[in-house]
């Protein structure tokens, strides 16, 4: 798959996303292993429902020591994530087998496109 990324113009990436329910069925574990350009990385996310806030929360931890918290919303076939510096908005295909969207980053002046993605379920 190819995508546009501000730090890796014209780069292609390959990787896997694996989802599994944690015991009890309240939290979803999301493992990511991806190579962008020549750089490989892994991350882990835990996704859960916050009843008080009435939204999904995502805690993300990557192989570089970064951790991020996002709010997540799924409405009418659109999926969105938002943190203080990053946001994503994407749409599912009609058959729900593909997700396409764009990640944007806030550089302190405004939001700029960081990465366009297309994920296909297999």
- Within-domain flag for 2: no
Selection from 20-24, 51-55, 114-118 with the highest mean pLDDT: 20-24
CATH value at residue 54:
2.40.128
Q: What is the mean pLDDT of residues 10-26?
A: 85
What's the whole-model pTM score?
Answer: 0.79
pLDDT at 73: 93
- Within-domain flag for 7: no
User: Is 2 a residue whose pLDDT tops 70?
Assistant: no
pLDDT at 11: 65
pLDDT at 29: 98
- Domain range for 71 is 13-120
Q: Between 35 and 62, whose confidence is greater?
A: 62
Q: d(Cα 97, Cα 34) in Å, to the nearest integer?
A: 19
The residues, ordered by sequence, that sit 6+ positions from 112 with a Cβ below 8 Å of its Cβ are 6, 104, 105
**What does R_g of the chain's alpha carbons equal in angstroms?**
15
- Within-domain flag for 53: yes
Q: What is the mean pLDDT of residues 99-118?
A: 90
User: Is 18 a residue whose pLDDT tops 80?
Assistant: yes
The tally of domains found in the chain comes to 1
Q: What is the mean pLDDT of residues 36-54?
A: 90
Q: List pLDDT tens digits, range 46-100.
A: 999 998 988 899 999 999 999 999 999 998 889 999 999 999 999 999 999 999 9
């Amino acid at each position: 798959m190819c995508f546009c990324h501000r730090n890796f113009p014209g780069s292609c990436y390959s990787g896997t996303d694996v989802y599994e329910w944690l015991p009890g069925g309240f939290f979803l574990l999301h493992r990511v292993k991806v190579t962008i350009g020549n750089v490989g990385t892994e991350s882990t996310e835990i996704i859960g429902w916050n009843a008080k806030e009435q939204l999904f929360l995502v805690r993300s931890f990557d192989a570089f020591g970064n951790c991020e918290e996002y709010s997540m919303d799924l409405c009418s076939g659109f999926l969105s994530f938002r943190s203080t510096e990053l946001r994503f908005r994407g749409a599912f295909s009609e058959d729900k087998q593909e997700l396409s969207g764009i990640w944007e980053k806030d550089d302190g002046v405004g939001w700029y496109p960081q990465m366009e993605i297309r994920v296909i379920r297999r």
